[in-house]
Amino acid sequence: MIEKIAIVGMGALGLLYAEQLTRGLGSVECVEFIMDEERLARHRSDVYTINGEAKQFRMVSSREARPADLCIVAVKYNALAGALDTMQSVIGPDTIILSVMNGVSSEKIIGKRYPAARILLTVAQGMDAMRDGSSLRFTQCGALRIGTDCPENIPALDAVEELFRRAAVPYVRESDILYRLWFKYMLNVGINQTCMVFDVGYGVATTEGTEANRVLLGAMREVIPLAKAHGVTLTEADVGECVAIEKTLDPLGYPSMAQDRKAGRKSEVEMFAGDVLRMAEELGMDAPFNRFLYERVQEIEREY
Protein backbone atom coordinates (compact mmCIF):
# COMPACT_ATOMS: atom_id res chain seq x y z
CA MET A 1 0.00 0.00 0.00
CA ILE A 2 1.23 3.49 -0.89
CA GLU A 3 1.42 5.63 2.25
CA LYS A 4 4.25 8.12 1.72
CA ILE A 5 4.13 10.39 -1.34
CA ALA A 6 6.83 12.80 -2.48
CA ILE A 7 6.14 15.53 -5.03
CA VAL A 8 8.89 17.36 -6.92
CA GLY A 9 7.60 20.62 -8.34
CA MET A 10 5.26 23.07 -6.64
CA GLY A 11 3.63 24.52 -9.72
CA ALA A 12 -0.01 24.24 -10.73
CA LEU A 13 -0.09 20.45 -11.09
CA GLY A 14 2.06 19.78 -8.03
CA LEU A 15 -0.30 21.86 -5.88
CA LEU A 16 -3.39 20.39 -7.53
CA TYR A 17 -2.44 16.80 -6.74
CA ALA A 18 -1.07 17.61 -3.28
CA GLU A 19 -4.44 19.16 -2.44
CA GLN A 20 -6.39 16.21 -3.81
CA LEU A 21 -4.25 13.62 -2.03
CA THR A 22 -4.09 15.34 1.36
CA ARG A 23 -7.82 16.06 1.31
CA GLY A 24 -8.74 12.57 0.12
CA LEU A 25 -6.46 10.80 2.58
CA GLY A 26 -7.41 13.13 5.42
CA SER A 27 -3.85 14.06 6.37
CA VAL A 28 -1.18 16.57 5.37
CA GLU A 29 1.51 14.23 6.69
CA CYS A 30 1.29 11.75 3.82
CA VAL A 31 2.49 14.19 1.13
CA GLU A 32 5.84 16.01 1.08
CA PHE A 33 7.15 18.56 -1.41
CA ILE A 34 10.86 17.85 -1.93
CA MET A 35 13.14 20.78 -2.76
CA ASP A 36 16.68 22.02 -2.31
CA GLU A 37 17.55 23.95 0.84
CA GLU A 38 17.63 27.35 -0.87
CA ARG A 39 14.11 26.91 -2.23
CA LEU A 40 12.93 25.54 1.11
CA ALA A 41 14.24 28.63 2.91
CA ARG A 42 12.27 30.85 0.54
CA HIS A 43 8.98 28.97 0.76
CA ARG A 44 8.97 27.27 4.18
CA SER A 45 6.43 29.68 5.67
CA ASP A 46 4.30 30.20 2.55
CA VAL A 47 0.54 29.71 2.87
CA TYR A 48 -1.12 28.61 -0.33
CA THR A 49 -4.72 29.08 -1.38
CA ILE A 50 -6.61 26.59 -3.52
CA ASN A 51 -9.69 28.20 -5.06
CA GLY A 52 -9.56 30.75 -2.24
CA GLU A 53 -9.16 28.26 0.62
CA ALA A 54 -5.94 28.48 2.66
CA LYS A 55 -3.78 25.34 2.59
CA GLN A 56 -0.44 24.38 4.10
CA PHE A 57 1.75 21.59 2.80
CA ARG A 58 4.77 19.76 4.17
CA MET A 59 8.06 20.86 2.59
CA VAL A 60 11.23 18.85 3.10
CA SER A 61 14.83 19.47 2.11
CA SER A 62 16.18 16.96 -0.38
CA ARG A 63 19.07 16.44 2.05
CA GLU A 64 16.67 15.30 4.79
CA ALA A 65 14.14 13.43 2.65
CA ARG A 66 13.82 9.67 2.84
CA PRO A 67 12.59 7.12 0.25
CA ALA A 68 8.91 7.42 -0.61
CA ASP A 69 6.42 4.84 -1.85
CA LEU A 70 5.43 7.15 -4.72
CA CYS A 71 7.28 10.08 -6.31
CA ILE A 72 5.28 12.45 -8.52
CA VAL A 73 7.38 14.55 -10.90
CA ALA A 74 5.50 17.78 -11.63
CA VAL A 75 8.13 20.21 -12.94
CA LYS A 76 8.48 22.09 -16.20
CA TYR A 77 10.66 20.59 -18.91
CA ASN A 78 13.41 23.14 -18.32
CA ALA A 79 13.62 22.12 -14.65
CA LEU A 80 13.70 18.35 -15.15
CA ALA A 81 17.49 17.99 -15.03
CA GLY A 82 17.63 19.69 -11.64
CA ALA A 83 14.62 17.73 -10.41
CA LEU A 84 16.42 14.45 -11.13
CA ASP A 85 19.07 15.51 -8.60
CA THR A 86 16.55 16.83 -6.07
CA MET A 87 14.50 13.62 -6.04
CA GLN A 88 17.45 11.27 -5.60
CA SER A 89 16.95 10.92 -1.84
CA VAL A 90 13.32 9.79 -2.20
CA ILE A 91 13.96 7.09 -4.79
CA GLY A 92 14.32 3.73 -3.07
CA PRO A 93 14.29 0.20 -4.50
CA ASP A 94 10.46 0.04 -4.35
CA THR A 95 9.59 3.64 -5.24
CA ILE A 96 7.03 4.13 -8.01
CA ILE A 97 7.49 7.20 -10.22
CA LEU A 98 4.72 9.12 -11.99
CA SER A 99 5.55 12.01 -14.29
CA VAL A 100 2.64 14.40 -14.85
CA MET A 101 4.79 16.48 -17.18
CA ASN A 102 3.66 17.29 -20.69
CA GLY A 103 5.24 15.71 -23.75
CA VAL A 104 6.26 12.18 -24.68
CA SER A 105 9.86 12.16 -23.45
CA SER A 106 9.96 12.79 -19.68
CA GLU A 107 9.57 9.13 -18.69
CA LYS A 108 12.48 8.17 -20.95
CA ILE A 109 14.67 10.91 -19.46
CA ILE A 110 13.76 9.86 -15.91
CA GLY A 111 14.37 6.21 -16.80
CA LYS A 112 17.89 6.93 -17.99
CA ARG A 113 18.71 8.43 -14.58
CA TYR A 114 16.82 5.81 -12.55
CA PRO A 115 16.82 2.65 -14.71
CA ALA A 116 15.74 0.37 -11.85
CA ALA A 117 12.72 2.49 -10.89
CA ARG A 118 9.15 1.44 -11.58
CA ILE A 119 8.04 4.24 -13.90
CA LEU A 120 4.39 4.31 -14.96
CA LEU A 121 3.15 6.22 -17.98
CA THR A 122 0.88 9.05 -16.91
CA VAL A 123 -1.15 11.73 -18.65
CA ALA A 124 -2.70 14.68 -16.80
CA GLN A 125 -5.69 15.69 -18.88
CA GLY A 126 -8.70 17.96 -18.70
CA MET A 127 -7.64 20.42 -15.98
CA ASP A 128 -7.41 24.20 -16.25
CA ALA A 129 -5.39 24.90 -13.09
CA MET A 130 -3.54 28.22 -13.03
CA ARG A 131 -1.08 29.29 -10.36
CA ASP A 132 -0.50 32.95 -9.58
CA GLY A 133 2.09 33.33 -6.84
CA SER A 134 0.86 31.20 -3.94
CA SER A 135 -2.69 31.05 -5.30
CA LEU A 136 -4.07 28.17 -7.38
CA ARG A 137 -7.40 28.36 -9.14
CA PHE A 138 -9.19 25.86 -11.34
CA THR A 139 -12.69 25.09 -12.58
CA GLN A 140 -11.83 21.62 -13.93
CA CYS A 141 -9.54 19.21 -12.05
CA GLY A 142 -9.46 16.73 -14.95
CA ALA A 143 -8.22 13.19 -14.46
CA LEU A 144 -4.95 11.31 -14.42
CA ARG A 145 -4.69 8.67 -17.14
CA ILE A 146 -2.39 5.92 -15.90
CA GLY A 147 -1.00 2.78 -17.49
CA THR A 148 2.09 0.83 -18.43
CA ASP A 149 3.54 -0.90 -21.47
CA CYS A 150 5.70 -3.13 -19.24
CA PRO A 151 3.99 -6.23 -17.74
CA GLU A 152 6.41 -6.22 -14.81
CA ASN A 153 4.98 -2.85 -13.72
CA ILE A 154 1.41 -4.13 -13.35
CA PRO A 155 1.73 -4.49 -9.53
CA ALA A 156 2.92 -0.88 -9.32
CA LEU A 157 -0.04 0.19 -11.46
CA ASP A 158 -2.40 -1.73 -9.17
CA ALA A 159 -0.91 0.03 -6.13
CA VAL A 160 -1.37 3.50 -7.67
CA GLU A 161 -4.93 2.67 -8.67
CA GLU A 162 -5.67 1.59 -5.08
CA LEU A 163 -4.22 4.88 -3.80
CA PHE A 164 -6.25 7.01 -6.19
CA ARG A 165 -9.41 5.10 -5.35
CA ARG A 166 -8.76 5.50 -1.61
CA ALA A 167 -8.00 9.24 -1.98
CA ALA A 168 -10.82 9.89 -4.47
CA VAL A 169 -8.36 11.27 -7.05
CA PRO A 170 -10.03 11.24 -10.48
CA TYR A 171 -8.23 8.75 -12.72
CA VAL A 172 -8.65 6.40 -15.67
CA ARG A 173 -6.67 3.20 -16.04
CA GLU A 174 -5.79 3.07 -19.72
CA SER A 175 -5.48 -0.17 -21.64
CA ASP A 176 -3.56 1.70 -24.37
CA ILE A 177 -1.58 4.32 -22.49
CA LEU A 178 0.74 5.06 -25.43
CA TYR A 179 -2.26 6.23 -27.46
CA ARG A 180 -3.36 8.46 -24.59
CA LEU A 181 0.17 9.85 -24.19
CA TRP A 182 0.35 10.85 -27.84
CA PHE A 183 -3.22 12.15 -27.81
CA LYS A 184 -2.36 14.53 -24.95
CA TYR A 185 0.87 15.50 -26.70
CA MET A 186 -1.10 16.45 -29.81
CA LEU A 187 -3.51 18.47 -27.66
CA ASN A 188 -0.67 20.33 -25.92
CA VAL A 189 1.29 20.98 -29.10
CA GLY A 190 -1.77 22.82 -30.34
CA ILE A 191 -3.28 24.64 -27.38
CA ASN A 192 -0.19 25.49 -25.32
CA GLN A 193 1.81 27.02 -28.12
CA THR A 194 -1.11 28.72 -29.86
CA CYS A 195 -2.32 30.46 -26.70
CA MET A 196 1.21 31.67 -25.98
CA VAL A 197 1.96 32.95 -29.48
CA PHE A 198 -1.39 34.69 -29.96
CA ASP A 199 -1.65 35.72 -26.29
CA VAL A 200 -5.19 34.37 -26.00
CA GLY A 201 -7.16 32.04 -23.74
CA TYR A 202 -8.88 28.75 -24.45
CA GLY A 203 -12.01 30.49 -25.74
CA VAL A 204 -10.37 32.38 -28.62
CA ALA A 205 -8.08 29.50 -29.59
CA THR A 206 -11.06 27.15 -30.03
CA THR A 207 -13.26 29.65 -31.93
CA GLU A 208 -13.67 28.59 -35.55
CA GLY A 209 -12.57 31.11 -38.13
CA THR A 210 -9.88 32.78 -36.04
CA GLU A 211 -6.23 32.70 -37.08
CA ALA A 212 -5.38 31.20 -33.70
CA ASN A 213 -7.78 28.32 -34.35
CA ARG A 214 -6.31 27.69 -37.81
CA VAL A 215 -2.81 27.42 -36.34
CA LEU A 216 -4.09 25.31 -33.43
CA LEU A 217 -5.56 22.72 -35.80
CA GLY A 218 -2.57 22.77 -38.15
CA ALA A 219 -0.07 22.21 -35.36
CA MET A 220 -2.06 19.28 -33.96
CA ARG A 221 -2.42 17.62 -37.36
CA GLU A 222 1.37 17.62 -37.78
CA VAL A 223 1.62 15.24 -34.81
CA ILE A 224 -0.49 12.53 -36.48
CA PRO A 225 2.23 11.13 -38.81
CA LEU A 226 4.82 11.33 -36.01
CA ALA A 227 2.62 9.21 -33.76
CA LYS A 228 2.12 6.73 -36.60
CA ALA A 229 5.90 6.39 -36.95
CA HIS A 230 5.95 5.40 -33.25
CA GLY A 231 3.23 2.80 -33.71
CA VAL A 232 0.34 4.94 -32.44
CA THR A 233 -2.73 5.73 -34.56
CA LEU A 234 -4.18 9.23 -34.26
CA THR A 235 -6.93 10.45 -36.59
CA GLU A 236 -8.86 13.56 -37.53
CA ALA A 237 -11.50 12.42 -35.05
CA ASP A 238 -8.87 12.71 -32.31
CA VAL A 239 -8.17 16.28 -33.39
CA GLY A 240 -11.88 17.01 -32.96
CA GLU A 241 -11.89 15.35 -29.53
CA CYS A 242 -8.94 17.52 -28.45
CA VAL A 243 -10.86 20.65 -29.39
CA ALA A 244 -13.97 19.36 -27.60
CA ILE A 245 -11.93 18.89 -24.41
CA GLU A 246 -10.43 22.38 -24.73
CA LYS A 247 -13.92 23.87 -25.09
CA THR A 248 -14.88 22.49 -21.66
CA LEU A 249 -12.17 24.60 -20.01
CA ASP A 250 -12.59 28.13 -18.69
CA PRO A 251 -12.70 30.23 -21.89
CA LEU A 252 -10.83 33.03 -20.13
CA GLY A 253 -8.23 30.63 -18.75
CA TYR A 254 -4.96 29.86 -20.46
CA PRO A 255 -2.44 26.99 -20.45
CA SER A 256 1.04 26.86 -18.97
CA MET A 257 2.96 28.34 -21.91
CA ALA A 258 0.65 31.36 -22.05
CA GLN A 259 1.20 31.74 -18.31
CA ASP A 260 4.96 31.64 -18.99
CA ARG A 261 4.64 34.52 -21.45
CA LYS A 262 2.73 36.66 -18.95
CA ALA A 263 5.36 35.93 -16.29
CA GLY A 264 8.35 36.43 -18.61
CA ARG A 265 9.53 32.83 -18.13
CA LYS A 266 11.20 30.43 -20.54
CA SER A 267 8.58 28.09 -21.96
CA GLU A 268 8.47 24.39 -22.79
CA VAL A 269 8.62 25.02 -26.54
CA GLU A 270 11.53 22.58 -26.94
CA MET A 271 9.31 19.78 -25.67
CA PHE A 272 6.51 20.72 -28.07
CA ALA A 273 7.47 22.32 -31.40
CA GLY A 274 11.14 21.55 -30.80
CA ASP A 275 10.51 17.81 -30.51
CA VAL A 276 7.99 17.88 -33.38
CA LEU A 277 10.56 19.49 -35.67
CA ARG A 278 13.29 17.07 -34.62
CA MET A 279 11.09 14.02 -35.16
CA ALA A 280 9.80 15.37 -38.45
CA GLU A 281 13.34 15.97 -39.69
CA GLU A 282 14.30 12.39 -38.83
CA LEU A 283 11.35 11.18 -40.93
CA GLY A 284 12.11 13.54 -43.84
CA MET A 285 8.90 15.50 -43.24
CA ASP A 286 8.04 19.17 -42.87
CA ALA A 287 6.00 20.73 -40.05
CA PRO A 288 5.35 24.34 -41.10
CA PHE A 289 2.82 25.18 -38.38
CA ASN A 290 5.13 24.02 -35.62
CA ARG A 291 8.06 25.76 -37.32
CA PHE A 292 6.07 29.02 -37.25
CA LEU A 293 5.20 28.51 -33.58
CA TYR A 294 8.77 27.58 -32.64
CA GLU A 295 10.25 30.64 -34.32
CA ARG A 296 7.61 32.97 -32.90
CA VAL A 297 8.13 31.68 -29.34
CA GLN A 298 11.87 32.27 -29.74
CA GLU A 299 11.12 35.86 -30.75
CA ILE A 300 8.77 36.38 -27.80
CA GLU A 301 11.28 35.01 -25.30
CA ARG A 302 14.07 37.19 -26.69
CA GLU A 303 11.87 40.21 -25.98
CA TYR A 304 11.56 39.47 -22.24
Together in a domain, 152 and 11: yes
Together in a domain, 164 and 187: no
Together in a domain, 163 and 183: no
Burial code (b: 16+ CB inside 10 Å, e: under 16) for 176-207 equals: ebbbbbbbbbbbbbbbbbbbbbbebbbbbbbe
Together in a domain, 181 and 280: yes
Together in a domain, 99 and 186: no
Distance CA 270, CA 78 (A): 9
Distance CA 91, CA 299 (A): 39
Which CATH number is 140's domain given? 3.40.50.720
Residues 6+ apart with CB under 8 A from 68: 4, 5, 6, 32, 90, 92, 95
130, 155, 173 — which closes off a domain?
Answer: 173
Together in a domain, 156 and 183: no
- Looking at the chain, the number of H-run helices and the number of E-run strands are 13, 12
Distance CA 123, CA 178 (A): 10
Together in a domain, 21 and 57: yes
Together in a domain, 139 and 73: yes
Together in a domain, 51 and 190: no
Each residue's pLDDT expressed in tens, for the chain with a length of 304 residues: 999 999 999 999 999 999 999 999 999 999 999 999 999 999 888 889 999 999 989 999 999 999 999 999 999 998 999 999 999 999 999 999 999 998 898 999 999 999 989 999 999 988 888 888 889 998 888 899 999 999 999 999 999 999 999 999 999 999 999 999 999 999 999 999 999 999 999 999 999 999 999 999 999 999 999 999 999 999 999 999 999 999 988 899 889 899 899 999 999 999 999 999 999 999 999 999 999 999 999 999 999 9
Strands 118-127 and 141-147: antiparallel
Contact present, 260 and 196 (Cβ < 8 Å): yes
Domain region containing 14:
5-173
Together in a domain, 95 and 201: no
